[in-house]
Amino acid sequence: MTKANIPNGRSLPGTVVHYDEIGRIMACAAQKITGNANAFNAHVGGQFFLTPHPMALEAQRHQAMHYTGLLGYLAGLAEDRGVALVDLLKEFSPANGYFIDLTAAYEELWQRSPHHELDFAVFLEIQKQEKIFPTGYLDHCHGQIESLVLMAHYFKGRQIPATPDRVVMGTGFKNLFNALVTVLMTGEVRVDARGRDVRGPKPGTILVPRGHYQSLVKAPSFHNGRLQVIEGMDEAHIMEALENRGDIKAVYFSVVANPSGDVMPEDQIRGIARAILQYNALHPNDPVFVVADQVYNGSLLKKGLEIFSIASLTGASLGMDDDTVNSMSMFDYTVTIVSPSKTLGYASARIGFAASNARIPGDLDDIIARMGNVLGHEGSDGVEVSAEKGALGAYAFTPLSWIDANSEYVKSQLARARHHVETINSSLGKEFFTINDPDAGWYILSSFPRKHLPLGIRDSTDLMAWFMGSARFKKDTGVIVRPGSQFGLEAPNLEPRDHLILRSTLAMAPEDLDEFFRRLTRGIVKLDRIKTLETLTASKLAAAIETAQGLEQFILGTAQVFSLEKLKDFIQKPGLLDLSLEEVCMLIKALALDEVAAVLSFSK
């Protein structure tokens, strides 16, 4: 692949890897390797600033130093506080604003342990001494039993009827999604007629909404599968897509949408469940599955919203007059994936969990067990046990109040961003762009009507590249954003929209947000000027020449847009003054197009 054409020897603002990635995108576009509308993943991570709860970090440190389970950490805490361990456990319960009922979880661990005939308190004394050395993963490579039991209780708290054997651990959402797609798109091993082991490929399609988490695009492609973007993730659109199902294997949605930050309402989720269960009732041997992304389990910016779990729904709760549907349960068709990456601020733990009771008809193992096989094979035993316990700590010890405090911060950043947008638009005397009003998370979408943009900006990938390079990589210029194309917002199978979307983050310090908008403003002002030149008419030019007192002066006055060198060239064109105003307009328009193209190709 062609390397990015980054100017040598200059210090680049931002992350070089991003520039490299953008260069790669541009190079791919030039080679027409744009299978999914330039939807390449330019993620290098690390933009997230909210830290995990300190107790999660302490739990991780404790495991690394003492090789204990989470209970070992809790026992140390109880000792420091001079309270009984049983009483300390009681503190961590949904009634007190925590996700997991620790007493219920450890009671289940007790019931499942060889010590279930002893007292609970005695069991805790034994259990707290359990050591988990890194080699513990040789036997439990998809999550320690303690973690699986506690996480089953976490899922139960989200109204999902999970049991520990229906939970699997991976290294975050992406890893689990990858394993799930592998399971959906390859068969179990069979012995063929000649006695050889075979695993048949089953490439397929995952339905995703217009505006979906960008990193989904990769996993299906390893199996020659693909995403299919549908306009809306609701009952009607899913039913329509399933009418001509083709090789659709599953439907994906995130309850808190990335990039829009919309929280999917319960009604809509019930509609999705109706579509799936009705379809599966008619196709019991070839059901469609649901991937419910619940990595955001909070981070709500508005009151009265809730994160609703589709896997909590039974057919009977949907109020449909259909006995078959009434006997079904969404947990049997849904793989719910969670990770502490987002709401709990612990992306660096690289841990996630999936829960499901789904099975592909004809398979010997259920989907969770098959995912476990894939994950185990790729080396989950390499996962740091301490990271697992840290992630578990994030789930167990992060109170809602901590999450809400983070959300308050994000809200203040949103107000700050809105102020910047108003200032930019009022200085330009037009609504050059707007930002959305997210329900949750910390991203904002900037929407730029195409009518304000120069012709050379063909799609959001161009717009992204423009904002990185419009000042030609001079120090302290350029911003990093993600283009809407990566989220399926410009899916080739859907009607084009009259605006381009960029996603940026509010998760940064206020002064960095100010700096972001200062740089963005520079890029916007330049776009606006180029657009004005591009749409110049003879009469407008005549007026402009009069105001500037001459054509040369007018041309030189565009120095904020074009380099002085280019302008001097332009003025020195032989016979310039003999040209008609229309001809001069055309020359200026060509110059404007050239300027945009030069920025987008990173040339000088």
Site residues, ligand PLP (CB under 6 A)? 172-174, 213, 254, 258, 293, 295, 339, 341-342, 347, 352
Distance CA 103, CA 543 (A): 79
Task: Please report, in angstroms and rounded to a whole number, the separation of the first and last CA atoms in the chain.
Answer: 22
**Least separation in angstroms between CB 347 and ligand PLP:** 5
Distance CA 225, CA 247 (A): 9
**Least separation in angstroms between CB 254 and ligand PLP:** 4
**Least separation in angstroms between CB 260 and ligand PLP:** 11
A 10 A CB-CB count for 197 gives 8
Reduce the secondary structure of 371-409 to three states and give it as a string: HHHHHHHCCHHHCCHHHHHHHHHHHHHCCHHHHHHHHHH
Residue spans of alpha helices (H) in 436-580: 460-469, 510-534, 538-548, 551-556, 564-571
User: 252 or 562, CB closer to ligand PLP?
Assistant: 252
DSSP SS3 for 144:
coil
**Least separation in angstroms between CB 258 and ligand PLP:** 3
Reduce the secondary structure of 198-220 to three states and give it as a string: ECCECCCEEEEECCCCHHHHHHH
User: 295 or 588, CB closer to ligand PLP?
Assistant: 295
Distance of CA 401 to the CA centre of its chain: 24
User: 348 or 434, CB closer to ligand PLP?
Assistant: 348
Helix (H) or strand (E) holding 127: helix 120-127
User: 183 or 255, CB closer to ligand PLP?
Assistant: 255
User: 38 or 336, CB closer to ligand PLP?
Assistant: 336
User: 308 or 602, CB closer to ligand PLP?
Assistant: 308
CA nearest 251: which of 188, 180, 202? 180
**Least separation in angstroms between CB 507 and ligand PLP:** 11
**Least separation in angstroms between CB 395 and ligand PLP:** 13
User: 295 or 424, CB closer to ligand PLP?
Assistant: 295
Tokens of 581: 């105003």
Distance of CA 344 to the CA centre of its chain: 15
**Least separation in angstroms between CB 115 and ligand PLP:** 34
**Least separation in angstroms between CB 467 and ligand PLP:** 20
User: 263 or 295, CB closer to ligand PLP?
Assistant: 295
Amino acid present at 269: I
- For the chain, helix (H) and strand (E) counts, in that order, are 21, 13
**Least separation in angstroms between CB 173 and ligand PLP:** 3
**Least separation in angstroms between CB 202 and ligand PLP:** 24
User: 173 or 448, CB closer to ligand PLP?
Assistant: 173
DSSP SS3 for 419:
helix
Q: Residue 335's beta-bridge partner residues?
A: 291
Q: Are 73 and 106 in contact (CB under 8 A)?
A: no
Inter-CA distances, 210 with 11, 261, 378, Å = 37, 13, 31
Distance CA 114, CA 107 (A): 13
**Least separation in angstroms between CB 433 and ligand PLP:** 23
User: 219 or 588, CB closer to ligand PLP?
Assistant: 219
CA nearest 384: which of 93, 143, 215, 199? 143
Rounded to 5 degrees, φ, ψ at 289 are -105, 165
CA nearest 130: which of 385, 387, 394? 385
User: 56 or 347, CB closer to ligand PLP?
Assistant: 347
User: 280 or 398, CB closer to ligand PLP?
Assistant: 398
**Least separation in angstroms between CB 400 and ligand PLP:** 20
